[in-house]
Amino acid sequence: MTFRLDEAEFAKASKTGNRSSERICVLVSGGLDSCALAVKMAESFEEVYPVYIEEGLLWESIELHWLGKFLARLDCPGILPLKQIALPIRDLYNAHWSTTGEHIPDFHSSDHEVYLPGRNLLLLAKTAVYCALNQISIIAMGLLKGNPFSDSTPAFLKYFAETAGIALGQSLRILTPFSEYSKSEVIALSRDLPLHLSFSCIHPVGLLHCGVCNKCAERRRSFKVAEVEDITEYSALPRLE
């Protein structure tokens, strides 16, 4: 199940305090979209359970570093402590760029080149079990408009929720509140959040965004389109086209 919450609805939920008593799990990666999503869900739900799935990908330790800083900066008592769940993937991905660091999609690559095979299928499988064990019936994901991958489609999410619900003996819903938003629109919607503490890079330099990978390019362009100042610290700043 997917739905759209616009700015007016977010503001109304926040202003009236009329939040749902249902528990919701938010899959957070440390990226801009999922960080913003966790905060927005806290405006609509009383208890938000952020979950980070550790797969052993190159950037995860840096991502967790910044995710901790982002969450610590918030004043959202409804967001519970981060739950980290291990799901090692290196034995499947073998020579994939996300584990080797070789041939990482660069500034000029297409979005299709950053595909991680079965990414959402894997993330949702273990998260669904976590939810069943903790009486959580909703999972929220920060998927955006135009996502080109087959495991991000409404059909996949619908059938996965139904199948997982049967397997686990409880109903499960998967919400994608940002599915009709571009990244620049999410930035505009979330301009008051410490977005510079989110992390979107697939080839970090120390603790910094590299500035030259596909995800850094997408991030920088989106801030520019949103006309929001990007105070993220990058290791390099190639010219935006």
What is the rounded average pLDDT of the residues 150-178? 96
pLDDT at 67 over 60: yes
Tell me what pLDDT residue 17 has.
58
Question: What number of other Cβ atoms are within 10 A of residue 87's Cβ?
Answer: 13
Greater model confidence, 128 or 3: 128
Q: Is the dihedral of CA 61, 150, 36, 175 positive or negative?
A: negative
2, HSE (Cβ side, Cα atoms, 13 Å): 21
Instruction: Give the pLDDT band (50/70/90) at residue 146.
Output: confident
Tell me what pLDDT residue 4 has.
46
pLDDT at 7 over 80: no
**Three-class SS of residue 27?**
strand
Residue partners of 16: CB distance under 8 A and separation at least 6: none
The amino acid occupying position 189 is L
Tell me what pLDDT residue 239 has.
87
**Three-class SS of residue 53?**
strand
pLDDT at 6 over 80: no
Tell me what pLDDT residue 217 has.
95
Question: Two tokens at 62?
Answer: 């840096």
* Conformational region of residue 206, where left means phi above 0, alpha means psi within -120 to 50, and beta covers everything else: left
**Three-class SS of residue 154?**
helix
pTM above 0.85, yes or no: yes
Let me know how many helices (H) and strands (E) the chain has, helices first: 9, 5
Question: Two tokens at 221?
Answer: 């362009």
**Domain 7-104+119-191: homologous superfamily in CATH:** HUPs (3.40.50.620)
Question: Two tokens at 44?
Answer: 């609509």
